[in-house]
Structure formats: structure tokens, C-alpha cells
């Protein structure tokens, strides 16, 4: 299935100019026309207000404000972008990072080196199969994929706590 990404706005927050170019080129290849870039989390937050993105592609490790801190600021119920799909890009693939990404409320994790296919699959996932959001005393973010119905929400609360 080929997605029409021409109407979506992407915000790419990545400190490496080279990596931003790679991501932008891939997105353009997929048909995206509105791509906004920022080089760190602080400028990424400012760009969000200006660009009103539909999808955030975010590097984990950056100076000033890293990706994890940016997600913590976004994933609060009162933030206007609280529900934005977030695809986190990282070169660190330890299990602890994957667990932390889930706890932060990341929709998709993309490990470097990235491929066009893997990026497209993550975008396809957030566009075609958006997940409901869960709010517990310790978590606010997309429900894990295992959750199929509202009866399982209690288990989600236990899993992410």
C-alpha cells in the first residue's frame, strides 16, 4: 500500500546535518512535501509551534535538549502536541533504551543505520494503525500494540508503571 504523504507535515529534529539530509531525502522520496527541520530539542519545540507537524521524527541523543527530554515535555495532556506520533531515531539499541522509549510514550523506535524501508514502515504504522492513548498516574502515551480493547487497559497500566 502506497501512502499519500503529500498533505502531512513532518518535523525532523536531529543534530547531525548529514542525518537530517538523509531523512529529508527519504521523506521526499516517499512523497512528503512539507518537511521542517531542527537541530536540537529546544529548536524542535519552537519549530513545533510554527509548523504544527503531523509526525515528529526525533533523534534521541542531541545537545541542549535531547530527544527523551523533548518527549517528556510533549507527552503531557495539556500540551497541544501531546498526541503527535513520535518516531524516535537512535544508534543505541540496548534493551534499557527500548524499555525507556516505551515508558516515554514513543510510537516507533528506529535504530541507526536506518533504511528507507524501515522508516517507511514506521510512518505507515503511525498513519494506518494509530493507537489509542492511555493515561495513568505514571504514563501518558500510546497504548502498547498488544492492547486490543478497553478491557486490557488495566494490564497496560500495570505494564508501564
Residue-wise pLDDT tens digits, 56-114 = 999 999 998 999 999 999 999 899 999 999 999 998 888 888 889 989 999 999 999 99
Domain of 107, in residue numbers: 9-130
User: Which CATH number is 64's domain given?
Assistant: 3.40.50.2300
Q: Is the pTM of this model over 0.95?
A: no
Number of domains in the chain: 2
Indicate if 32 and 101 belong to the same structural domain. yes
* Enclosing H/E stretch for 37: strand 34-38
Q: Is 80 a member of any domain?
A: yes
What number of H helices and E strands is found in the chain? Answer: 6, 7
Q: Any bridge partners for residue 13, and if so which?
A: 38, 58
Indicate if 21 and 83 belong to the same structural domain. yes
Residue 153 confidence class, pLDDT cut points 50, 70, 90:
very low
- The whole-angstrom separation of Cα 109 and Cα 9 is 19
Indicate if 91 and 151 belong to the same structural domain. no
Residue 157 confidence class, pLDDT cut points 50, 70, 90:
very low
pLDDT at 142: 94
Q: Is 2 a member of any domain?
A: no
Pairing assessment for the beta strands 9-13 and 133-135 based on DSSP bridges: unpaired
Residues 6 or more apart whose Cβ sits within 8 Å of residue 56:
10, 11, 13, 44, 48, 74, 81, 84, 85, 86, 87
**Percent of the chain having pLDDT more than 90?**
73
- The whole-angstrom separation of Cα 79 and Cα 105 is 14
Amino acid at each position: 500500500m502506497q501512502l499519500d504523504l503529500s498533505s502531512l507535515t513532518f518535523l525532523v529534529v536531529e543534530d547531525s546535518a548529514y542525518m537530517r539530509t538523509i531523512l529529508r531525502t527519504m521523506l521526499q522520496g516517499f512523497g512528503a512535501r512539507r518537511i521542517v527541520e531542527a537541530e536540537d530539542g529546544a529548536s524542535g519545540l519552537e519549530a513545533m509551534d510554527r509548523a504544527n507537524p503531523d509526525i515528529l521524527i526525533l533523534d534521541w541523543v542531541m545537545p541542549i535538549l535531547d530527544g527523551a527530554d523533548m518527549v517528556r515535555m510533549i507527552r503531557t495532556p495539556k500540551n497541544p502536541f501531546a498526541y503527535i506520533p513520535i518516531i524516535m531515531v537512535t544508534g543505541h539499541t540496548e534493551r534499557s533504551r527500548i524499555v525507556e522509549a516505551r515508558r516515554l510514550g514513543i510510537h516507533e523506535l528506529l535504530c541507526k543505520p536506518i533504511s528507507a524501508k524501515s522508516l517507511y514502515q514506521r510512518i505507515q504504522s503511525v498513519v494506518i494503525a494509530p493507537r489509542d492513548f492511555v493515561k495513568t498516574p505514571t504514563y501518558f502515551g500510546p497504548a502498547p500494540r498488544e492492547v486490543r480493547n478497553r478491557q486490557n487497559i488495566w494490564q497496560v497500566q500495570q505494564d508501564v508503571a
